[in-house]
Amino acid sequence: MFGKIQRIDDRVLEHIIKIHRPALNKIMILFSNAGTFGTIWWIICLPFLFNQKWRMTGINFIIALCIAHLMGQIILKNIVKRTRPCHKLDDDDLIVDRPRYYSFPSGHTAASFAMVGVALLRCRMTAFLPIIILASLISFSRIYLRVHYLTDVIVGALLGLVCGICSVAIFNAVYPALFPAIAM
């Protein structure tokens, strides 16, 4: 079964290579870099944290990012230890530097979809749509740049959504117990 999944992953990469163009490479690098260390997501949390009306959502975003990081980067990557597709390439074929850590699941995608999970439950459509579009572009950029396989990104998205949704449930259960005088 794993052999079949690997063949599908490899075929997807072969097809994506066909759309590589210098201008698109730069755009994909931009989206990928925005997701590095969750940078864009931490920046997006700031207006939520500074606005009292949205502060609880901002805190929930942070909780989701932390859970996704713990589950994906710290636990799953070190259990699965999947080699990245870029480690099979010659230096001349690389678009970006080879990441040092394992491939499965995609941490960029897990963080991105943790934000999507929270936004789905806590935000209006005007905030949700830009978040899901940005999350999708960051996730696709990881396959495009050949630092992740399709299955790394799919599992990263599922993991992130679960972490985001669970963070809302945890937050809703814990917050009233910690701060009973302050209404959500």
> Do residues 68 and 159 make contact, with C-beta atoms less than 8 angstroms apart?
yes
Mean pLDDT of 85-97: 68
Is residue 178 predicted with pLDDT exceeding 90?
no
Q: Which secondary-structure segment (H or E) carries 151? A: helix 150-178
Specify the residue for token string 């063949």: 7
Q: How many CA atoms lie within 13 A of 122 on its CB side?
A: 27
Q: What is the pTM assigned to this prediction?
A: 0.88
Maximum Cα–Cα distance across the chain:
61
pLDDT in tens, 5-29: 888 888 888 888 888 899 999 999 9
* pLDDT given for residue 183 in this prediction: 47
DSSP string, 12-58: HHHHHHTT--HHHHHHHHHHHHHHGGGHHHHHHHHHHHHSTTTHHHH
168 — pLDDT class (breaks 50, 70, 90): very high
Residue 149 sits at the vertex; the CA angle it makes with 10 and 142, to the nearest 5 degrees, is: 130
Is residue 164 predicted with pLDDT exceeding 60?
yes
Using CA atoms, how far residue 18 sits from 89, 114, 123, in Å, is 16, 30, 37
Mean pLDDT over the full length of the chain: 88
* pLDDT given for residue 71 in this prediction: 96
